[in-house]
Amino acid sequence: MLGLSPVRVALVTVYSHDRCTLKDVAGGYGTVFDVGPSWPARILAAAKVRLCELPSTTMGYLAAQLRAAGHEVSVHDLSRTGPRRDPVPGCDAALVQTSMVDASAEREVLAELTSAGVHTIAFGAYASARPEVFSDVARVVVTGEPEVLGARLLERRPSGIVDAGFVDDLDSLPYPDWSPFPVARYRYALLSRRGATLPVASARGCAFGCGYCPFRVTSPFRERRPERVVDEVRQLCERHGARGISFRDPLFNHDRERVAAIAHGIAPLGVRFSAEMRADLLDEALLTKLHGAGLRSLEIGVESARREMLVAEGRRPASHDQIEGILGYARRLGIRVVANFILGLPEDSEASILETVAWAKRLNPFAVQFTVATPYPGTTLERRARAHMTTDSPEACTGFEPVFEHPTIDADRIRQLREWAYVSYHARPRYVWRFARQAASTLFD
């Protein structure tokens, strides 16, 4: 029985791409950043790799639960690319975080560990949606949130698919324990180039119903009490010297009073933070308060210039005036805005994509992201596109690659438009000048 005495537990994340891979986005299915084959596109992709490196908050929670039970925890990021392949760590049990974008490599690592007699546990959004993908290579596949079970995963030797469900009260969880992690390595360049940036999850899931968004299906929406969030941030500053906090919530500002209370609590800590928010739930008064508390990077979903198309996808889009007003005011405050756009929804056309890119250029945010519509498991977009998929490879669902037959635009043209959107946006003198000024301020403010 694993639980009778302390055991060596490895928390494992597997990477099989040499491009920027983010595991906790796209509802936990992951993305792999891709612009295109041209040299300007490759430069942008290389810059993205250097922008951000953050650990999974789920891994931090599991580390806390396992260490509290007396187990020895080690953290391993395994690269399966190129001629060098990182060794699988020596351990008694291994928890492997799954994704779509690295599913084959994750299966490979799980098979190696299981063959070596390790008690292997697969978890994550993709294991929850498609447990059969991992059930033949892992001893246990957890659906739902593994923090529900925590160290109990090691109290006996369960096998097969285990439904953990979801954490009812996020405030019942211990704070993530980052002591086994390489904290000094973690960064988010839009906040600071000095000192560590660490993640905080103040909420999970999303309260809205966009048909293409996986966050609405991989996790129910729950929020933490502001005093718990503030206390966690305080401990990150005191114990790890964190200078930046990246809130990993898909929707940080659903509850205005909660967000204002978090801002009030962390303001004296002198920490900078980033968060993803809805523009229609922001106004100048709240944005001023958040900036005063340390907000320096704001991510918003603009998605498309065609509001009627977004409404057809189940989104409740902010108005153009709301988006333009928030971006303009954030710029005046010195907040770096990242605007997200989506290309290639079924209702999209080449004309609407060109209109969206033109609007992005007029908005002129500090950074942009042009993703390609992807039918993630469980979304209404998946149900609509299921009969038109052009691949059955989960790794193809990177968030930047067309994977279903579009009604009016062929896949190569979508790739061309994606590359043109990125390259033409970043090549504008207006953008280059403002980016240089704001990037320089990051070094010294």
Secondary structure in 3-state letters for 86-151: CCCCCCCEEEEECCCCCHHHHHHHHHHHHHCCCEEEEECHHHHHCHHHCCCCCCEEEEECHHHCHH
* pLDDT digits 0-9 by tens, 142-158: 999 999 999 999 876 66
Mean pLDDT of the chain: 93
39 falls within a domain: no
Where does a domain end: 110, 142, 170?
Answer: 170
Distances (CA, A) of 281 to 41, 259, 317: 34, 11, 11
Q: For residue 270, is it within any domain?
A: yes
Is residue 175 one of the residues assigned to a domain? no
pLDDT of residue 411: 97
Compute the distance between CA of residue 250 and CA of residue 25 in angstroms, rounded to an integer: 8
Looking at residue 445, what is its pLDDT?
Answer: 53
Residue 257 has pLDDT above 70, yes or no: yes
Do 97 and 125 share a domain, yes or no? yes
How much is the average pLDDT of 158-179? 94
Residue 35 lies in a domain: no
Whether residue 238 sits in one domain with residue 158: no
Signed CA dihedral, 126, 131, 132, 136: sign only? positive
Is residue 66 one of the residues assigned to a domain?
yes
What value does the mean pLDDT take over residues 26-43? 95
Per-residue pLDDT at 439: 61
Q: Assess whether 260 and 321 both reside in one domain.
A: yes
User: pLDDT band for position 444 (50/70/90)?
Assistant: very low
Instruction: Name the band, by pLDDT with cuts 50, 70 and 90, for residue 413.
Output: very high
Residue 195: pLDDT band (50, 70, 90) is confident
SS3 318: coil
Confidence of residue 107 (pLDDT cuts 50, 70, 90): very high
Please report which confidence band the pLDDT of residue 1 belongs to, taking 50, 70 and 90 as the band edges: very low
- Is 177 part of any domain? no
Per the structure, the count of domains in the chain is 2
Among the three residues 170, 202, 226, which one is the final residue of a domain in this structure?
170
User: Could you tell me if 328 and 422 lie in one domain?
Assistant: yes
Instruction: Compute the average pLDDT of residues 344-367.
Output: 97
- Out of 26-35, 187-196, 209-218, 280-289, which region has the weakest mean confidence (pLDDT)? 187-196
CATH, residue 353:
3.80.30.20
pTM of the model: 0.94
Q: Could you tell me the CATH number of the domain that includes residue 9?
A: 3.40.50.2300
Its domain, for residue 291, covers: 182-444
* 143 and 284 together in one domain: no
- Map residue 283 onto helix, strand or coil: coil
Residue 38 inside a domain? The answer is no
